[in-house]
Amino acid sequence: MADRIIAIINQKGGTGKTTLALNLAAGLVLRGSTHLVDADPQRSVSQWVGMGAGPAVLPLAVLGGDPVATLAKLARNHRYVVVDCPPAVQGPVIDAVMASANLVLIPVLPSPLDLWASVDMGALVSRARQKNPALQARLVLNQMETRNTLSRAMREAVAAFDMPVLDADMQRRAAYRSAAVEGTSVYGLGKRAQTAVADIEAIIEEVLCL
């Protein structure tokens, strides 16, 4: 277990990067010192945290200046660093994140188009491994509906993909949206978000065993 810097990436917007980053960090901070990093110029996670999801509990940094040095410093001082990335495959921020991360998580929606849009993510990870050979990568299925045939078919489709997928996934749940609206994580919603918390806990347990 050494996944100190966990970056949430996908070139596509709306796949759940910010949702996963914030809730993952909210679960990790219960286990050890955790720093959330906003690397997206849209600053969604900063706005979210600014509403109340931190910063007392969850310190947040914006990734500017020298991004490699900033990440290295945060990793020295925290057990976990979670980076919410912009929807991009290139640029100084993505380069720094890919050079520094121990693990990238790539949330994908259960649709073939979204899955194919993530093919470039495989190339990005392969390129990054030339300089960062220990970099691990996992797809995370998001907005899953267990009883939905498409979601079941997705599991089979990703199995044929060149990128391993986490067994744990994020189901489509109102709690993720409510947490965002209320400026908190699913952990902050109490009982009504129990199932969403269970999703995130399962993701964390799996990630910490990689």
142 binds, among ligand ADP, Mg ion, none (CB under 5 to 8 A by kind): ligand ADP
**Shortest Cβ distance from residue 38 to ligand ADP (Å)?**
11
Q: Which is nearer to ligand ADP, 66 or 116 (CB)?
A: 116
Q: Which is nearer to Mg ion, 18 or 34 (CB)?
A: 18
**Shortest Cβ distance from residue 181 to Mg ion (Å)?**
15
Contact at 8 Å (CB) between 32 and 79? yes
Contact positions vs ligand ADP (CB under 6 A): 13-19, 44, 142-143, 170, 172-173, 176-177, 180
**Shortest Cβ distance from residue 37 to ligand ADP (Å)?**
14
**Shortest Cβ distance from residue 121 to ligand ADP (Å)?**
12
Q: Which is nearer to Mg ion, 40 or 169 (CB)?
A: 40
Q: Which is nearer to Mg ion, 13 or 164 (CB)?
A: 13
Phi (first) and psi of residue 198, to 5 degrees: -65, -40
